Amino acid sequence: MILNLDGLLVQMRHMLWDEDGLIWGPQQLEECVRLGLARLQSVCPIKLSLEGLDDAAITILEDGMSVLLLRMALLHAWHLREQGRSETFHPDPATGKDNQDWLRGEGQALEQEVEHLRQFYLQRSLQVPYGCWPDRPPSVLDCNQECE
């Protein structure tokens, strides 16, 4: 369970095998967390926050979002590593290709999970996801509050 930014960064460093911070700096990892949280916020109707990130005092994440946030932040960190070191020119070409395949696959899996999350919130929303069309009479539309 992720309670704050420091806990998430410790977990990230452990999973990245960089506990001393020799590969990824604290600002880089913080930016990766920020990008992951922004992606989750793009589909979530409530205001998300992580204690310690951008002066947030409390952590507000829905159930299961902490794992998604961790995976997204790790994916962003590995993308930074790939860009910085140009992993395509790995001394062992098969390993370099495996890294790229994993990054691509993990990115696609995360996008599918975010899409499922978006659909979950969309289906349970009390507001219709569209506005009234001005060229149609309000009786045709079923959006009571939006049309008035």
pLDDT given for residue 55 in this prediction: 86
Q: What global pTM score does this model have?
A: 0.73
Model confidence pLDDT, tens digit, residues 69-93: 999 999 999 888 877 665 455 566 6
Distance of CA 29 to CAs 13, 70, 79, 128, Å?
9, 11, 12, 37
Model confidence pLDDT, tens digit, residues 57-67: 888 888 888 89
Looking at every residue in the chain, the average pLDDT score rounds to: 80
In this predicted structure, the answer to whether residue 144 has a pLDDT above a threshold of 60 is no
For residues 37 and 129, give the distance between their C-alpha atoms in angstroms, rounded to a whole number. Answer: 22
